Structure 1
């Protein structure tokens, strides 16, 4: 065997192998690596965008929560104010009703006093008539007697 021929044959095989690899193997391999690098870059960009979106969403959620708390506190304050107004109105109505009942009771008491006085006058007049009848034991003119009793009632 000749060393030059072996070296030359190995060189020819090497160049043929290099050409096959450079033509058929290397371009798909480089293309796959480029695609993977692109996917990784897209994934990193998407992750960064997601992180930014998450921060924005967190801020919005915090703001919405704060708004909800403020609105809840405002509604509670309004409810307390309405309850206080309602309580004041009920108290006022109760005081007005109590005043009306007291006035009505005073009016009824005054009417009962007037009725009692009238009844008492009539009884006093009757007693006076009976007393006068017993003292006089005689018949007196009924009309004159009634006029005297009416005058007596008016004086009492």
Structure 2
């Protein structure tokens, strides 16, 4: 065997092998690699979109939390104002009720004073009749002298 012929045959077999590999093996391998690269690129793009959506969602959440806090602060302030108004209204109602009770007590006291005066007038009239009886040493008829006794009680 000749060394040159062996090398030449090995070159020819190598180029045939390379040609067959380039024609039949290389395209499916390259297609698989391209598909994989495309899937990786799509995955990275989806990850970027996910990050962007996540950042947008976080911003929306922060805005919603801020509006919720603001709304709850308004509600608390409104509730405090309403509580103060209710307390003030209760104080006013209590003051009105106290004034009404005081007026009723004053009216009752006036009535008692009036009754006491009437009783005292009656007692004074009875004492005056008794005194006049003692002075005159005779019995004075109270029914006959009622007009006189009434004038006397009004003067007292």
Scaled by the length of structure 1, the TM-score of the pair is 0.92
Match of 1:62 in 2: 62
Match of 1:154 in 2: 154
Scaled by the length of structure 2, the TM-score of the pair is 0.92
Distance, in Å, in 2 between the alignment partners of 1:141 and 1:88 is: 65
Supply the RMSD in Å over aligned alpha carbons: 1.5
Match of 1:24 in 2: 24
Match of 1:15 in 2: 15
Question: Gaps (5+ residues) in structure 1?
Answer: none
Superposed displacement of residue 123, structure 1: 0.6
List aligned pairs for 1:98-117, cutoff 5 A: 98-117=98-117
Superposed displacement of residue 19, structure 1: 2.9
The count of residues paired between Structure 1 and Structure 2 equals 156
| 1:23-77 C-alpha deviation (Å, 9 max, x unpaired) | 3321121011101110121122112111211111111111111101110110111
Higher RCO, 1 or 2 (CA under 8 Å, sep at least 6)?
Answer: 1
Distance, in Å, in 1 between the alignment partners of 2:137 and 2:25 is: 161
| 1:101-128 C-alpha deviation (Å, 9 max, x unpaired) | 1111111111111111001000111111
Match of 1:137 in 2: 137
Runs (4+) off by over 6 Å: none
Equivalent pair of 2:132/2:140 in contact (CA under 8 Å): no
Distance, in Å, in 2 between the alignment partners of 1:142 and 1:122 is: 12
Distance, in Å, in 2 between the alignment partners of 1:141 and 1:18 is: 163
